[in-house]
Amino acid sequence: MEQSWRWFGPDDVVTLAQARQAGARGIVNALHQIPYGVVWSVAEIEARKAIIADDASLGLHWNVVESLPIHETVKIGEGDLEPIFANYRQSLRNLAACGLQVVCYNFMPVLDWTRTQLAYPLPGGGTALRFNIHEYVAFDHFMLQRPGAAEGHSAEVMDRASEWFERSSQADRDRLLANIMAGLPGAYDRYDVPGLKSMLERYRGMSHDGLRANLKRFLEAVIPTAEEVGIRMCIHPDDPPRPLFGLPRICSNEEDIAFILGAVDSPSNGLTLCSGSLGANPGNDVPGIARRFADRIWFAHLRNVAKDEDGSFMEAEHLGGDTDMVALIEVLLAEEQRRKAAGSPHWQIPMRPDHGHELLDDVGKGSFPGYPAVGRLRGLAELRGVMTAVSSLRGYGA
């Protein structure tokens, strides 16, 4: 697998040189400064490519676009969408003209990945991202006051949510809102509570099937162009893989993925295998999902989570959570060998370590939540060790 690193651009406190020190060669990047729905021009794409490749001694190249965002009106199915589709198609053409071939995207309504704690304390002074179900319910039920927010939660969770809210200060509530908003990287609107309520209102009545239909419409509009220009698009699973704030989520399990890949049956309609997102669903067999859809996996996010019975979870060490990372890497390496034997020019799967712990010199540096330098370096080193061991045992690369 091609060892890669997510870099957020010139404003990222983690530098390209540090990515190379960690052992990465591929840089996963996006033009976060461009608002959703606006065309990415060739000039802007080439300018970013030049920054990444500027120091030839590093040997870095932009290998994956993460992400080319989808405008919220597409997810809602609101108004005349053809201009938005046309801009997206043009961005795909421009990326292809600049040599980019893998585009990661997601179809999560309103919010991207969602956590309630960004600095959960670890032994020795490090921190991790964490999703606490009672804090999420406190926000949804008591701060948003969303009708129906209590449905589906146990009395014990509701009691804990009520206790948290009663003892919380305004600073605690502001921090919780900021933490929930933190998963929105790049060109985005951050919401206050009234703004989030207003955004959720636009989705009133949206069902699981309705959101699916809007994704299918998007895929039908853009995948033919992706196929024409040689781009492999790959949807990122929901994070967490469950409905949030009354919004359906439609890329959370094996059945969802089967629907999406079958909606437009094309090699250009693929999957980003995110072991952490899928791993947060107790019903998901992540290596099994990877095995079933292996021929459509164009990108991999490798991370691990440790789940609690109440629905909470924490970002674990890359080899230390609930997902069998060795088994998953075996699946991905076997798929690479199958592609290579078949003569595919796209046999290698770009991977990156995801959501590392904040460790050592990371603490207090202000990196993007989940994307510190040392924590991801550790994760990549651990994953590299597994890849090396599996390849040696299986005779891959011999």
Catalytic residue among 274, 318, 357, 362: 274
**Selection from 108, 34, 21 nearest residue 65 by Cα:** 34
DSSP 246: T
CB burial of 68-89 (b: ≥16 within 10 Å; e: otherwise) equals bbbbbbbbbeeeebeebbebbb
Active-site residue 236, yes or no? yes
Query: Which entry of 120, 191, 203, 371 is annotated as an active-site residue?
Result: 371
Task: Yes or no: say if 271 and 263 are a contact pair by the CB < 8 Å rule.
Answer: no
Of 71, 236, 318, 357, catalytic: 236
One of 134, 318, 355, 357 is an active-site residue; which one?
355
Asked if 307 contacts 282 with a C-beta cutoff of 8 angstroms, the reply is yes
Candidate list 238, 239, 354, 362, residue with the active-site label:
354
Measured distance CA(46)–CA(100) in Å, rounded: 10
- The reply to whether 274 belongs to the active site is yes
318 is an active site residue: no
Whether the CB-CB separation of 97 and 161 falls below 8 Å is answered with no
From 301, 318, 357, 362, the catalytic residue: 301
Tell me, yes or no, if 355 is annotated catalytic. Answer: yes
Closest to 88 measured CA to CA, from 108, 76, 74, 107: 74
Distance CA 192, CA 194 (A): 6
Q: Which residues are catalytic?
A: 236, 274, 301, 354-355, 371
